[in-house]
Structure 1
Amino acid sequence: MSRITPAVPPDHGPDVDDEAALSSDGRSTRWDDHRTSRRAELVHAARRAVHRIGPDVSMDEIAATAGTSKSIVYRYFADKTGLQVAVGEAVIAQMHTALDEAARAATTPRDALRSMIDIYLEMVEASPNVYSFVTRPVTEDASAPLGHFLEAVAALIAEPFARVLTAGTREPALADVWAAGAVGFVRGTGDWWLTHRSDADAPTREELTERVTAWLWAGPVGSLARTRSTPSTAADT
């Protein structure tokens, strides 16, 4: 079963403007809870619309998928980029769970690396449209930078490798440096695979995962792990 799924909850009925009704009684907490819930529903609807229609989906199409009006969507998100970032955060949250499970299940750092690469490529495979939507560049007048998505992925990947990469050193940023480079490499691989995976000689996701794992492990992670290896990790290099 896929760990990174594009599916979202079914659409809800048309939106109602009940902000006044909730706030008129001074029930601000209830309104805050409602707003948070409604915002999450709109993010789910946007992700569903992107998956079905494509990364160039319009705000009108997103609103229609959510069963509401475009003006309601703009009430929760300043612009399409704000919604784009929110969808990316939802994908990150899902990946966080999968990456945590992979890190706990891995018996060696190399196994953890392989699982993380597979999870990233699984995200690409599960919904190329959503992947393109959350990683595409934004306009200069956008409300938020989209680098947040890749930075968040790098932070997730850095966590389980911090001990391996910084053990016995005074360079705590080393894991972050490696993770940023690794994510850039894996992203480039994912972008290439997204374009070429239908080619007759293109590798499967499993084959690509094994190859990229070997390439990355033979680099900084492998060399540092070998110099500070324990018997269990040394046997895996």
Structure 2
Amino acid sequence: MPQPQPATDGRSTRWDDHRAARRIALVRAARKAVHQMGPEVSMDEIATFAKTSKSIVYRYFVDKPGLQLAVGEAVVEQMSVALSEAAQLATTPRAALESMVAVYLEMIAHSPNVYYFVTRTAPGLPFLESMNEIVAVPFAQEMNADAVDAAAWGAGAVGFIRGSGEWWLLNRTEPGAPTREELTDRVTAWLWGGPVGVLARGKP
């Protein structure tokens, strides 16, 4: 005989909703603070920017790496939406690859400070693993690659795009440096002409 379910405490539900909304607001405030003040921004500065106390920030994130991880998750979610929209417009595998590269480079160009905040510390690894999972592996699978090849290519592709993108961030104001659009074209061509050409198996 099914056991009766315990009654839901309305006050508890409202409190959970409040905490979830407050956490989202703090992540957004932290992201804006990092964007404006740089990746070395302190928790005190983030709390001031969010118009709250540092103790409140720590109540939701425990420590700075926890906040960095939460910001990274928000960035990944935003990129996932952008990639999904771009993938719907891509008519060929090469166009899908170009969209993947373009979305990544657009993200780091929009806010290098936020990018460094979520990648240049211990929490950076989960961020990059997420990029591999939502960006590169699905693309490799579209090429009919098996799971092992898709995982290996995905990790390599994200590493290649990351390295090229970070080089560009440091050198984009130098004479002769490519624009973001030019770098997108070049990285796409390099990836397509290399291992991805094998994965494509004759696709246009």
CA-to-partner distance for each residue in 1:202-228, whole Å, 9 max, x for gaps? 100010001000110111111231xx3
Partner of 1:161: 140
Note the residue ranges of structure 2 that are not aligned, 5 or more in a row. 1-8
SS at match of 1:111: helix
* Cross-structure match for 1:3: none
- Contact 1:103 1:160 (C-alpha < 8 Å) held by counterparts: no
Partner residue, 2:202: 229
Equivalent AA in structure 2 for residue 211 of structure 1: R
Question: Does the alignment pair 1:149 with 2:127?
Answer: yes
Q: After TM superposition, which residue ranges in structure 1, 4 or more long, deviate above 2 angstroms?
A: none
Residues 60-84 of structure 1 deviation map (CA, whole Å, 9 limit, x = unaligned): 1100111100000000001000000
The two structures have a TM-score, normalised by structure 2, of 0.92
TM-score normalised per structure 1 = 0.79
- Contact 1:154–1:183, Cα closer than 8 Å, also in 2: yes
String of CA shifts for 1:66-118, please: whole Å, max 9, x gaps.
11000000000010000001001101011000100111110111101011101
The equivalent of 2:3 in structure 1 is none
Of 131, 135, 155, 1:180 maps to 155
Which residue number in structure 2 is paired with residue 88 of structure 1?
A: 72
Counting only pairs closer than 5 Å after superposition, residues 31-50 of structure 1 correspond to structure 2 as 31-50=15-34
Identity %: 63
What's the counterpart of residue 131 of structure 1? 115
**Matched residue type, 1:192:** W
Q: Counterpart of 1:141?
A: none
State the shift of 1:26 in Å: 6.7
Unaligned runs of 5+ residues in structure 1 are 1-24, 139-144
Partner of 1:21: none
Question: How many equivalent pairs are there?
Answer: 195
Identify, as 1 or 2, the structure richer in helix.
2
Deviation for aligned residue 1:159: 1.2
In structure 1, C-alpha distance between the alignment counterparts of 2:109 and 2:91, rounded to whole Å: 26
